[in-house]
């Protein structure tokens, strides 16, 4: 069942689709402006950009996205080192580089947290509370997965490192550990999480976003679409249209679960059961609006991260300058 936040997002999707249809796009017949964007070869971002290109959503706004696929970490680096015009950036990473003098700007939200807490069926773990003292696998401490998990568990009053027997590994290694019974649970992102559930060697206890929402009433944003401030100043109209491309693309995914079937190679699904799980899950991970409330929700994630020592303390201005609303 969709939460109140997700239901509200769906209403936004339907209204946005209606306006889009009535306007028929922004630019008709004009030359398309090329934007080089760092995407990923698989996963949630690769899936999103494939949908945008497949349905020519970028062209509706007078843009053609020139997609450059990277690993998630390399996509962030490509954006930071200006190898592309725009790309993905974790919010925590953006705060850290901006606190040192850089000027990364998040101009649209990309993904709400898409991490799930999985448990091995034979581990006799039915709730998050029963994870205390058990072997739990997580990604490395510098990753969004680890930091988001640490934040969610602190919202429950837990010290992530001390409350479980933490084991660090890559997503693929963690999946193998869980399948073999070498760990009791693991924090795995979708779409990868769907594989273990579909094949029966993992059960989902909760999603990190659900823990956050129950404690705060707001969404847990982890990634944004980002550019450098100088690029934004040089191409303000292009930046506005680029923001619309991604928000329209995310609205389309949220309103059309069948896009999962169209873009299977980016999600790695192998069985009908796995595809069905992804059709239900993937549309719920994409923000469909970006306004002052969205910015405040994102800032709360960062403020709580600082409060709990997950992120170093920075001046309020660093947080305020990070986010821009262009629509």
> What tens digit of pLDDT does each residue of 59-83 get?
999 999 999 999 888 999 999 999 9
Rounded to 5°, angle at Cα 163 from 2 and 154: 50
pLDDT at site 79: 97
Instruction: Give CATH superfamily name and number for 115-216.
Output: Periplasmic binding protein-like II (3.40.190.10)
27-55 pLDDT tens trace: 466 799 999 999 998 889 999 999 999 99
- Listed as ranges, residues in the chain with pLDDT below 70 are 1-29
pLDDT at site 21: 43
pLDDT at site 12: 52
Q: Encode 10-35: b = buried (16+ Cβ within 10 Å), e = exposed.
A: bebbeebbeebeeeeebeeeeeebeb
Contact between 108 and 223 under an 8 Å Cβ cutoff? The reply is: no
* Matching fold, domains 4-112+220-322 and 115-216: yes
pLDDT at site 30: 78
Q: Encode 186-211: b = buried (16+ Cβ within 10 Å), e = exposed.
A: bbbbbbbbbbbbbeebbbbbbbbbbb
CATH 3.40.190.10 is held by the domain 4-112+220-322: yes
Q: Which one, of 254, 315, 320, lies nearest residue 11 by Cα?
A: 254
pLDDT at site 22: 41
Domain ranges of the chain: 4-112+220-322, 115-216
pLDDT at site 144: 81
């Amino acid at each position: 069942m969709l939460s109140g936040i997700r239901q509200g997002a769906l209403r936004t999707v339907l209204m946005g689709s209606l306006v889009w249809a009535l306007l028929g796009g922004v630019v008709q017949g004009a030359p398309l402006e090329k934007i080089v964007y760092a995407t990923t070869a698989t996963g949630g971002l690769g899936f999103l950009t494939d949908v945008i290109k497949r349905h020519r959503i970028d062209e509706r706004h007078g843009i053609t996205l020139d997609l450059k696929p990277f690993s998630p970490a390399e996509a962030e680096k490509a954006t930071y080192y200006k190898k592309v015009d725009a790309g993905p950036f974790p919010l925590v990473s953006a705060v850290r580089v901006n606190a040192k003098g850089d000027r990364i700007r998040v101009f649209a939200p990309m993904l709400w947290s898409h991490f799930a807490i999985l448990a091995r069926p034979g581990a006799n773990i039915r709730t998050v509370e029963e994870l205390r003292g058990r072997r739990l696998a997580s990604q490395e401490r510098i990753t969004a997965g680890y930091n988001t998990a640490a934040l969610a568990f602190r919202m429950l009053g837990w010290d992530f490192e001390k409350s479980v027997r933490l084991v660090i590994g890559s997503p693929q290694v963690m999946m193998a550990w869980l399948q073999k019974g070498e760990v009791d649970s693991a924090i795995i992102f979708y779409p990868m999480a769907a594989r273990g559930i579909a094949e029966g060697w993992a059960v989902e206890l909760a999603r990190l976003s659900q823990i956050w929402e129950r404690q705060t009433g707001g969404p847990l944003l982890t990634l944004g679409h980002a550019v450098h401030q100088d690029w934004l100043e040089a191409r303000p109209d292009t930046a506005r249209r680029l923001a619309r491309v991604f928000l329209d693309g995310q609205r389309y995914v949220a309103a059309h679960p069948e896009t999962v079937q169209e873009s299977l190679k980016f999600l790695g699904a192998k069985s009908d059961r796995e595809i069905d799980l992804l059709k239900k899950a993937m549309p719920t991970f994409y923000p469909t609006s970006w306004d002052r409330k969205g910015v405040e929700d994102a800032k709360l994630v960062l403020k709580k991260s600082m409060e709990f020592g997950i992120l170093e303390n920075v001046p309020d201005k660093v947080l305020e300058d990070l986010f821009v609303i262009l629509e």
